[in-house]
Chain A
Amino acid sequence: MLSFRAKLPALVTITLTTVAAIGIMLVAISWTGVISFTKTQLIPRYEFVGFTQYVRLFDTERFHVAFSNLFIYGGCFISITLAFGFLLAIMIDQRIRAESLFRTIFLYPLSMSFIVTGLAWQWFMNPTLGLQKFVRDLGFADFSFDWLINPDKAIYAIVIAAVWQSSGLVMAILLAGLRGIDRDIWKATAIDGIPAWRTYLSIVLPMLRPMVMTCVVLLAMAVVKAYDLVVALTRGGPGNASDLPAKFVIDLTFERANIGMASAAAVMLLMTTIAVVAPYVAYSFHKLRR
Chain B
Amino acid sequence: MNSKIIGRIGIYAFLAVSTAFFLIPVYIMVTTSLKGMPEIREGNIFALPLDPNFSAWFKAWSSACIGMACDGIRGGFGNSLKIMVPSVILSVALSSLNGYALALWNVRRAELMLGLLMAGAFIPYQVLLYPLVIMTRTLGIYGTLPGIIAIHVLFGLPVLTLIFRNFYASLPTEIMKAARVDGAGFMQIYWRIMLPMSPSILVVAVILQVTGIWNDYLLGLIFAGRDNLPMTAQLNNLVNSTFGEKEYNVNMAATILTAATPLLVYLASGRYFVRGITSGAVKG
Q: Bound state CA distance, A18 and B110, in angstroms?
A: 10
The 6 closest A-B pairs by CB, nearest first: A113-B215, A120-B25, A9-B186, A111-B266, A10-B105, A28-B131
Cβ of A35 within 8 Å of any chain B Cβ, yes or no, is yes
Of B52-60, B118-126, B197-205, the one contacting chain A is B118-126
Contact yes or no, A111 B211, CB < 8 A: yes
> Among B135, B185, B270, which residue has its beta carbon within 8 angstroms of that of A6?
B185
B1 within 8 A of A: no
A28 touches B107 (CB 8 A): no
Q: Which residues of A contact B195 (CB under 8 A)?
A: none
Residues on A with C-beta less than 8 A from B101 are 9-11, 13-14
The interface residues of chain A lying within 8 Å CB-to-CB of B187 are 9
A94–B11 contact, CB under 8 A?
A: yes
Q: Chain B nearest CB: distance from A100 CB in Å?
A: 8
Other-chain residue from B120, B235, B265 in contact with A119 (beta carbon distance below 8 A): B235
Q: Which size bracket describes the interface of A in this complex?
A: 35 or more
**Range class of the B interface residue count:** 35 or more
- Does A105 interact with chain B (Cβ within 8 Å)? yes
Question: What DSSP secondary structure best describes chain A's contact surface?
Answer: helix
**Which residues between 251 and 282 of chain A lie within 8 Å of chain B, taking CB atoms?**
253-254, 259, 262-263, 265-267, 269-270, 273, 277, 281
Bound CA span A235–B15, Å: 33
- Residues of A near B235 (CB, < 8 A) are 115-116, 119
Q: Which residue of B lies closest to A21 (CB)?
A: B157
Q: How far is the CB of A134 from chain B (nearest CB, A)?
A: 5
The CA-CA distance from A102 to B217 in the complex, in Å, is 29
The complex places the Cα of A44 from the Cα of B130 at a distance, in Å, of 10
Residue in chain A with minimal CB distance to B238: A119
Cβ of B218: which chain A residues have Cβ within 8 Å of it?
227-228, 250
Contacts of A224 in B (CB 8 A): 124
Which of the 9-residue segments A123-131, A146-154, A178-186, A199-207 touches chain B? A123-131
Asked whether, in the complex, the Cβ of B45 is within 8 Å of the Cβ of A266, the reply is: no
Of A111, A112, A129, A259, the most chain B CB neighbours within 10 A belong to A111
**In this complex, what residue of B is CB-closest to A94?**
B11
